[in-house]
Structure 1
Amino acid sequence: DHPGSGMHTHVSLFQGEKNAFYDAKAEYNLSKVGRSFIAGLLRHAPEITAVTNQWVNSYKRLHGGGEAPALVNWGHNNRGALVRVPMYKPNNENSTRVEFRSPDSACNPYLAYAVMIAAGLKGVEEGYELADSSDATVLPSNLNEAIIAMEKSALVRETLGEHVFEYVLRNKRAEWNDYSRQVTAYELDRYLPIL
């Protein structure tokens, strides 16, 4: 009866021995690099969702309530946010990190980590500004919406490479088409008696 397990992913970046996400004087001790990394994750979240949530059933967890994120937002110690900034532990700068909470535990971790890191690094490289989390949009609500977002993504295409990008799209389109043709028990129980 539960919608599935998440693969909440904690990320931090280091420059040598120094945690690049840590700034003692910043809000939540989160540096400009950390804020731009979050902004990259948020900006590119819809287009990487077909990789981080690759199954039809993945979206029942994301949009089924509970603590799984459905909105593209961030928050400090907020377990409902897509990106959570965990509480800073005093005198432990190396623990400064962000948590990306949407990935499905059944995703391909190699591809998922590749697109998550690419999205965050794009934010750092381009100097994305982290917006107020109240400006949230919604993650794709099903695999088809995620496929459509991924198809338009230069970031995902570049990160996965042309061959893998096209393979994933072709595979996921076929899966969605197979799923869409299914007549479910709900449809039979609900509509057969009255039609």
Structure 2
Amino acid sequence: MTKTLISNAPGAATTLEQIKEIINEKSVELLHLQFVDIEGILKHVTVTIEQLEDVVEGKMMFDGSSIKGFSPINKSDLYLQPDLATFAVLPWTVENGYSEARFLCSVKNPDGSLFEGDTRNVLKKTVDRAAEHGYTISVGPELEFFLFKTDENGYATQELGDKAGYFEPSPHDLGERVRLEIYRALKAMGFTIEASHHEV
């Protein structure tokens, strides 16, 4: 298991001009417009960089009836409104000098109102409601997982990748390199990592 505490780092690109500079510098080709369904599963619509202006203006439509728990077929048109402060180049997509990036998005109805089934909108309302009563909400996620060995076809087995214990280093901890890759990817995306180690 891994324990990695992260927090969003300040200084991220928040204006369209800053985002365009990064897009040119990193040769971004594709944009992933990400949102979360009612079960907490990440979803995304991928568009080309040429559609950036439409993306920022919230003109990217998707079929909400295809997302579990979102909309019936007769009210399926929903739109994605990106949060510019969440723009990030995805480090693991860099290949041959090109890369991909993502925005976290809120889901909106065709009339521009917030879609009630969007978990991001629900969270924002909850944060605002807490603030009205003098409270702030802080989140410290711990990304914990198991690493399993794979079979000859590359599929995960039920056999754990190592038998190490709490805080053990390599060679007992065979996941050290994986956590290093995760750390570097998160750091490149603007996160501050508090700790990364083998758990129990």
Q: TM-score category by the smaller chain?
A: under 0.3
Write 1 or 2 for the structure with the bigger share of helix: 1
Write 1 or 2 for the structure with the bigger share of strand: 2
Larger Rg: 2
Per the normalisation by structure 1, the TM-score is 0.27
